[in-house]
Amino acid sequence: MKEMKLLKNVLLGSILIFSGFNANAKPSITTSGSTTVLPIVQRAAEVFMDKYPEINISVRGGGSGVGISQIIEGKVNIANSSRPIQTKELKSAREKGINPTTNVIANDGIVIIVHPSNPIKELTIATLKDIYAGTITNWKKLGGPDKPIVVVSRDVASGTFEVFNGKVMTGAKVKEDAIMLASNNAVATTIDATPGAIGYVGLGFLSDKVKALIIEGVTPSDETVKDGTYKLSRQLFMYTNGTPKGVVKEFIDFVLSEEGQKIVKETGYVTIN
């Protein structure tokens, strides 16, 4: 009997070792996705881990499409996204037994930016579409300098690209020679270094190194994003597999709390209340 009990303990120990069990391992949360949402999640994760050092949070970017793909594949607990999940993604998820659930964590506006030296102050969405489609190619046509327009866009994995396409391009394609970049920061840096360029970023990436344009007579701001008068407003999301539970729920609840929404505001975005 004693030998049998010893054998069971040995077998249990072997199973735990081979399954990677670690009695001292911290509870963990893995997130990936939107570079727009990234500053919020990074800062929120830092503060949350300071409050709860027994929990570890991994935060990665890659774009909204990457985050949603990884939650469908079961690789992350949270997919950060700057666009709603697509119908084809939902179908793929459900085929794999995944139930993507929407958690709105902030509001944002896609801000059209140019170099500070550019005298242009305002555009319509129709004109913006013509610029990105390649119909308008020189600032002179818009009352600006005689200088070619350098079109800068986000790449196709970006949720910001998807929302821009839906709200601005409405079926037209971005011109083939547009500079396609993987992050908001890369777009802002390129506009800062290129006097003839135009691009778009999330509200949290504005600085005095670029100039935000008025669109359809409305300046992008907390107020115009929240009330929807700014036409390029949107929501920001954290997607989970089903209703969040455990430490994942605790983290999302923190982002939605008064302290978490203060972080949303401090990182340049717009609160949900």
Structure-model confidence comparison of residues 2 and 232, the more confident one: 232
Share of the chain above pLDDT 70, in %: 91
The pLDDT value recorded for residue 24 is 58
Cα 34 to Cα 253: distance, rounded to the nearest angstrom = 19
pLDDT tens, 135-169?
999 999 999 999 999 999 999 989 999 999 999 99
From the number of C-beta atoms within 10 Å of its C-beta (0-12, 13-18, 19+), residue 10 rates as: exposed
pLDDT tens, 113-125?
999 999 999 999 9
5 to 1, 15, 255: CA distances (angstroms): 6, 15, 48
Domains and CATH numbers, the chain: 28-107+235-266 (3.40.190.10), 108-233 (3.40.190.10)
CA nearest to 116, candidates 219, 205, 196: 196
In this structure, the number of other CB atoms found within 10 A of the CB of residue 7 comes to 10
Averaged confidence pLDDT in the chain: 92
Residue 5 reports pLDDT greater than 70 = no
pLDDT tens, 48-72?
999 999 999 999 999 999 999 999 9
Secondary structure letter of residue 20 according to DSSP: T
Residue 236 reports pLDDT greater than 70 = yes
Residue 10 reports pLDDT greater than 50 = no
The pLDDT value recorded for residue 25 is 67
State the alpha helices, DSSP H only, in 115-168: 125-133, 159-164
Cα 68 to Cα 240: distance, rounded to the nearest angstrom = 9
Which range among 21-30, 108-117, 122-131, 215-224 shows the weakest confidence by mean pLDDT? 21-30
